[in-house]
């Protein structure tokens, strides 16, 4: 026999898992901000790896739950798409840390604070959007947040073009040029991942209207 109370409890579990995943995406962005604020300290990938591992476990739990439980508020494929989108954020940010540790000397004199701040704002907005799913956020509210993510992604794209222009005009070695190009593109990709997750949330909310 169908139990509404049980079904709603199962929905709550999905909300909990999605929020936990968005929190790990934000945690990875905050770890990157700290990473750049202390350039003289010894660095490791521990914080990035931990966020990526946690969100991977959460993603697996969501996939398993979708196969064994009933969700009443959203379509299972939308929940899975959001979970996968959220997982890609810490995974991409960890790659940024990996690149930096390969050749930190190439970062001397390079200012990435604007791009990293924008990424932090993107994950803040994304976490807010995921939390609002639980309380049935209004379409216009989600559209507003999603527009903010689109704006952030667009600004980071513009920054990428300017940074690449600087790289191509540098009188520098090929190694540093390739390093900076890869780093800039990974930062832009991480912001793209946030935008993609925001788009999924917008679709979920629109379907619920």
Q: What is the pLDDT of residues 59-104, one digit of tens each?
A: 999 988 888 877 767 788 898 999 999 999 999 999 998 888 888 8
Over the stretch 17-66, which tens digit does the pLDDT of each residue have? 999 999 999 999 999 998 887 755 657 888 899 999 999 999 999 988 88
Measured on CA atoms in the order 62, 63, 64, 69, is the torsion positive or negative?
Answer: positive
Question: What's the CATH number for 4-207?
Answer: 1.20.58.220
Measured CA to CA in angstroms, residue 94 lies from 34, 144, 162, 205 at distances of 13, 29, 24, 30
Q: Are 129 and 204 in contact (CB under 8 A)?
A: no
Tokens of 142: 């989600």
Cα distance from N-terminal residue to C-terminal residue, the chain: 28
Report residue 1's pLDDT band, with 50, 70 and 90 as the boundaries: very low
pTM: 0.84
User: What is the C-alpha separation between 170 and 79, in angstroms, rounded?
Assistant: 45
pLDDT attached to residue 4 = 31
Check: CB of residue 197 under 8 Å from CB of residue 114: no
DSSP conformational letter for 40: T
Rounded to an integer, what distance in angstroms lies between the CA atom of residue 131 and that of residue 22? Answer: 9
């Amino acid at each position: 026999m169908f139990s509404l109370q049980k079904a709603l409890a199962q929905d709550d579990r999905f909300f909990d898992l999605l929020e936990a995943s968005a929190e790990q995406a934000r945690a990875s962005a905050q770890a990157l901000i700290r990473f750049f604020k202390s350039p003289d300290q010894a660095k490791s990938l521990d914080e990035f790896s931990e966020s990526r591992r946690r969100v991977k476990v959460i993603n697996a739990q969501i996939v398993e739950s979708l196969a064994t439980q009933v969700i009443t508020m959203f379509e299972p494929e939308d929940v899975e798409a959001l979970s996968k989108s959220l997982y890609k954020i810490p995974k991409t940010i960890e790659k940024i840390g990996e690149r930096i540790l390969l050749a930190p000397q190439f970062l001397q004199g390079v200012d990435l604070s604007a791009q990293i701040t924008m990424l932090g704002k993107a994950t803040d907005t994304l976490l807010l959007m995921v939390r609002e799913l639980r309380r049935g956020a209004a379409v216009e509210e989600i559209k507003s947040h999603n527009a903010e993510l689109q704006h952030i992604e667009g600004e980071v794209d513009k920054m990428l073009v300017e940074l690449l222009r600087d790289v191509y005009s540098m009188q520098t070695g090929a190694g540093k040029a390739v390093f900076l190009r890869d780093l800039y593109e990974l930062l832009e990709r991480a912001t793209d991942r946030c935008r993609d997750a925001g788009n999924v949330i917008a679709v979920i909310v629109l379907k619920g209207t």
